[in-house]
Amino acid sequence: MKRISLVILFIFSCFFSSAQSKGKCSILVDKGSFTLFLLSEKGDSLMRFPVAIGENPGQKTKQGDCKTPEGVFTVTWVQNTKGIKYDYHDGNGKVDAYGPFFIHFNTPVSKTIGIHGTCKERVDRIGTRDSKGCIRLLNEDLLKLLPYVYKGMKIKIIPGPEDILADKGK
């Protein structure tokens, strides 16, 4: 009986400690490698996923410039996007463009930027510059990331070489 109690205590402590550390994770998006990293409190990579980013390189400076912002931001809320449609004007009509969820964060330029899933018509564009500025994941990757996301979570987005060149050319 004592042995079973110790095993239960061990399992509980492992679960409890991982649940506690979950709230201290952060997200890093490297635009140069088209990769999103879930980082532990110590900065270790816990998960990594390929992403699509804004179709234009460089720092987001205005609404509609199709650039992914760079800097440090904070998650403001997570939205269930079931039934929200968008028309990419690619002949497919309105599609479930955002996948199952949209992780919102505010930037000085836009309050409609976030991390979200994708529609089946855009799955092959993960790993490219294809979004209007958001960070787009495969839906299954978004669902793996979502349990770690919380209001107030930090998101850091760093430029790649193409972004740095675009910003120097201004």
Identify the band that residue 19 occupies on the pLDDT scale cut at 50, 70 and 90: very low
Predicted pLDDT at 121: 80
- Residue 37 belongs to a domain with what CATH number? 2.40.440.10
Closest by alpha carbon to 141, among 48, 54, 53?
48
Confidence at residue 15, expressed as pLDDT on a 0 to 100 scale: 33
Domain of residue 72 covers 25-168
Residue 88 has pLDDT above 80, yes or no: no
Please give the structure tokens belonging to residue 30. 């490297």
State the total domains in the chain.
Answer: 1
pLDDT band at 170 (very low <50, low <70, confident <90, very high): low
Residue showing tokens 């998650």: 75
Q: 94-124, pLDDT tens digit by residue?
A: 888 899 999 999 898 888 899 999 988 889 9
Q: What is the value of pTM for the model shown?
A: 0.83
CA distance 112 to 103: 10
Is residue 19 in a domain?
no
Model confidence at 1, pLDDT cuts 50, 70, 90, reads: very low
| 123 is a domain residue | yes
DSSP string, 11-69: HHHHHHHHHHHHTT-EEEEETTTTEEEEE-TTS-EEEEEE-BEESS-S---STTS----
d(CA 41, CA 130): 31
pLDDT at 147 over 80: yes
